A and B are shown apart, each in its own frame.
Chain A
């Protein structure tokens, strides 16, 4: 009996030591909160109730009439470092043809005007839309192992022609959409987004990992990407009602790329959003929107 005991104890100790050790391997999980049982039961009753017809979404009540235009120009207050050269270690006969080099394009600033390119501005919620989605294709091309449009916008339901102008094959992988398609040399395929993206999503080529771009899909098409001189224009916006815009840049330090500027009169907040109301027929020019150095991360 005593012998069995000792043996059992050894096993117990060994197991205990083992447990203690296994416990130390990885960091302890951060415990989340537990559900509030009473509140959950009450909420379940609310949710289980049969939907009482109609209902109608809370948003989307138009209060104004007519249309207006918003424009502005982003400028960068710093001097961007020379862009990094990308490591091209594949298909060099095409991607580095004639000693051509590829550079990363996350911060494109115009030398002369200091205009900041590829800032995305879009209306968060719209109550009405002037024009339906165009059936015209948006071209998204790649050549010399680079996406030709670093940031592109399209409407939900609008066909995007994903093209490959290279003599080698690529694949185009748009995150968040499950679109990942082989694009043979010189070929193209059509992608139509079925739903909105919140903030822009990344577009990559898995075959050539240095290739990167961003895409944004909006239901109402009230979206603009700033041009090389930093300017953007969104026409045909609903006038006479409060509008809220979201601003994004690939390297903005705000959450998920939200670009936040110090513009108290526009109530520009940390989420990279500003608010204004346009009057009918107005062309509101926000002028020069200066982006300070610390709004852009590394």
Chain B
């Protein structure tokens, strides 16, 4: 039932128009119905008869998978249908489809790797698996990489939406992209404390292909956002249409995105080694002082207990935009309901009606094309579970650069490297810290106590 299940939950209601999008590969419903009915059976029981139309409506024939347009941003930018169409066409020209990805040389992506990851799950003549992304990733991250696969709504935290091109766990500065190796590391280790599993059992070349494909979806998503935002910047003479020239699409839109990815490879944070002769007890004490002090100020969000119970009503960037959109729609509808339409001339009235149509559609998009916004909690530092990795180096990166997309700010510049190391040491001691004296008779760790 896998193909059927994913279609239905992705498309929400069983409308055929919607079912065209993001279909997963698999047996066609007709084949499956035959399998259920058995060969040569006569007189199907009524139960099956009743079930069949439902199944058939739910799936329809299996069309080629397609990327889902970023309807959230399209609504946010209030694009016209013709403009949405133009973005879809430009993206198809620049990036192809989920079954046949193509890339321009400027992206710096390797098409051979992409082909290994793209397309339906299948094996070639020597039994080599293709379609890795849909086999391993699309359930959660979606065919488009919008973080809205069929299982997404049930996960906490939500799967990453690659389209804004923002990644949290990396070895580069906050504003920089992750390196290829950063993505590989996440694929290998998974993200502890989230639903992201480890894919360490996959071969090196497969992981490599998947990391490349994530970059592909991310670059594609960023280009999509840039295109949609570019409509606002158009001049009147452009008549609401983006110029379909190499100059604009490649040099102005694609190049900056691609360059950011390429430059990340040389932008790994230079981490000074932790002094070898460091006195760990003193370092932990110093780290504690910094944690609670006004310089590093970790306490404000991670709480006086370190349980992540400080500033706990914030949102990450992905959820914040959705939250703000909900406010825009609600506020807009409220304001529109208060408008005195009888005082309007015909121009104002048609503008008012257009506003209502837009708000209503945006509301539907928020309902069907976005996940319910969810707050982000500062990490509970007493559990010893760190999403971005538990090596001291990983913690150093997090503190130095902050976490892109999340409220966690960067300490670099204002907190010197040796102090960052002290904080790392203190944080690493927190899961074992308790209100008492450490000793053989008190082996309890904080996690059990709490």
Contact = CB atoms under 8 A, between A and B. Distances in A.
Interface stretch (A15-23, A61-69, A77-85, A224-232): A15-23
A179 B175 contact: yes
Contacts of B337: none
A256 interface: yes
A33 B293 CA distance: 53
Contacts of B245: 46
A184 B295 contact: yes
Contact of A55 (B5, B12, B247): B247
Given A44-B94, A46-B244, A209 B9 contact: no
Nearest to A32: B69
Nearest to A52: B246
Contact of B93 (A22, A29, A47, A167): A47
Contact of B407 (A49, A206, A253): A206
Q: Interface size class for chain A?
A: 35 or more
A271 B402 CA distance: 36
A278 to B, nearest CB: 19
A255 B232 contact: yes
B300 interface: yes
Nearest to B408: A180
Interface string B167-178: 000000011000
Given A12-B55, A181-B414, A207 B297 contact: yes
Interface in A141-164: none
B92 interface: yes
B282 interface: no
A32 B74 contact: yes
Contact of B9 (A23, A44, A183, A244): A23
B45 A5 contact: yes
A271 B412 CA distance: 39
A32 B69 CA distance: 6
Interface in B313-340: 313-314, 317, 331, 334-335
A23 B84 contact: no
Nearest to B35: A8
A184 B247 contact: no
Interface string A3-38: 001101110110111011011111111111111110
Contacts of B251: 51, 55
A40 B93 contact: yes
B314 A206 contact: yes
A28 B15 contact: yes
Interface stretch (B17-25, B119-127, B182-190): B17-25
Nearest to A191: B413
A281 interface: no
Contacts of B402: 180-182
Given A43-B90, A51-B251, A184-B297, A198 B233 contact: yes
A30 B365 contact: yes
Contacts of A131: none
Contact of A19 (B4, B293, B311): B4
Contacts of B91: 35
Interface string B2-40: 001100111111110110110000000000000010100
Contacts of B12: 23-29
Chain A CB within 10 Å — which of B11, B51, B78, B369 has the most?
A: B51
A26 B365 CA distance: 11
A105 B48 CA distance: 64
A297 interface: yes
Contacts of B92: 35-37, 40
A32 B36 CA distance: 34
Contacts of B369: 29-30
Given A26-B12, A29-B18, A31-B17, A206 B409 contact: yes
A4 B43 CA distance: 15
Interface stretch (A106-114, A170-178, A211-219): A170-178
Chain A CB within 10 Å — which of B51, B175, B367, B409 has the most?
A: B409
A174 to B, nearest CB: 10
A247 B331 CA distance: 22
Interface in B364-421: 364-365, 367-369, 402, 404, 407-415
A58 interface: yes
A42 B90 CA distance: 10
Contact of A29 (B58, B74, B81, B368): B368
B165 to A, nearest CB: 10
A185 interface: yes
Chain A CB within 10 Å — which of B74, B174, B410 has the most?
A: B410
B365 to A, nearest CB: 5
Given A6-B45, A180-B174, A298-B335, A46 B409 contact: no
B295 A180 contact: no
Nearest to B18: A31
B232 A198 contact: yes
Contacts of B38: 5
B246 to A, nearest CB: 5
A288 interface: no
A47 B94 contact: yes
B305 interface: no
Contacts of B84: 32-33
Given A6-B45, A34-B66, A209 B175 contact: no
A20 B48 contact: no
B143 to A, nearest CB: 13
A9 B295 contact: no
B268 interface: no
B51 A178 contact: no
A9 B89 contact: no
B446 interface: no
A177 B166 CA distance: 11
B353 to A, nearest CB: 15
Given A169-B297, A173-B409, A206-B314, A271 B69 contact: no
B17 A185 contact: no
Nearest to A176: B317
B1 A15 contact: yes
B409 A44 contact: no
A180 B58 contact: no
Contacts of A173: 407, 409
Contacts of B296: 169, 182, 184
24 contacts: A5-B38, A12-B51, A12-B52, A16-B54, A19-B58, A23-B12, A27-B364, A28-B13, A29-B11, A31-B18, A32-B84, A36-B89, A36-B92, A40-B90, A47-B93, A47-B250, A124-B233, A168-B297, A169-B296, A180-B410, A190-B413, A206-B314, A253-B335, A298-B331
Given A8-B36, A13-B47, A13-B51, 4 more contacts: A12-B52, A26-B368, A27-B364, A33-B69
Q: Which 6 A-B pairs have the closest CB atoms?
A: A32-B69, A27-B367, A178-B175, A35-B92, A169-B297, A171-B409
